[in-house]
Amino acid sequence: MSLADQIAPLLPHLRRYARALTGNQKRGDTYVRSLLEAIIADDSIIERGLDPRVGVYRAFHAIWSTADMDAAQPDESGGMEKLV
C-alpha cells in the first residue's frame, strides 16, 4: 500500500484535530496542507515501522510546534467567519 493510500483515510480526523489546535478551520487546513507538502518533498518525515497514524501525527506536531505562532492565532472575530 502506498504512503498516500495510508495517509488519505487519516485526513478528516487530522483536519479536525488541526482545527481544535488552531481554533479555526482555515488555519488548521493550512497546517495540514503544510504537512502534506512536507511529505511530498521528503516522505522520510513519516517514520517507517510506525503505525501510519502515529507517524502522521508526529510529523504534524513537528510542523505545528515550529510554525509562526502569530499565524496560528484566531482572527479578531474570534475565529468565526461571516456566513452572509
* Cell numbers for 67: 510554525
Average pLDDT over the chain reads 85
Please determine, for residue 25, whether its predicted confidence score (pLDDT) is greater than 60. Answer: yes
Q: Please indicate whether residue 76 or residue 3 has the higher confidence score (pLDDT).
A: 3
Please give the pLDDT value at position 67: 82
What is the distance between the alpha carbons of residues 43 and 37, in angstroms, rounded to a whole number? 10
Please give the pLDDT value at position 57: 97
pLDDT digit string, tens, across residues 60-73: 999 999 987 555 45
Please determine, for residue 54, whether its predicted confidence score (pLDDT) is greater than 60. Answer: yes
Domains and their CATH numbers in the chain? 3-66 (1.10.1740.10)
Overall residue count recorded for the chain in this entry: 84
Angle at 10 between CA 6 and CA 13, to 5 degrees: 175
- Phi (first) and psi of residue 40, to 5 degrees: -65, -40
Average pLDDT of span 25-30: 96
Of 13, 36, 27, nearest to 46 by C-alpha is 36
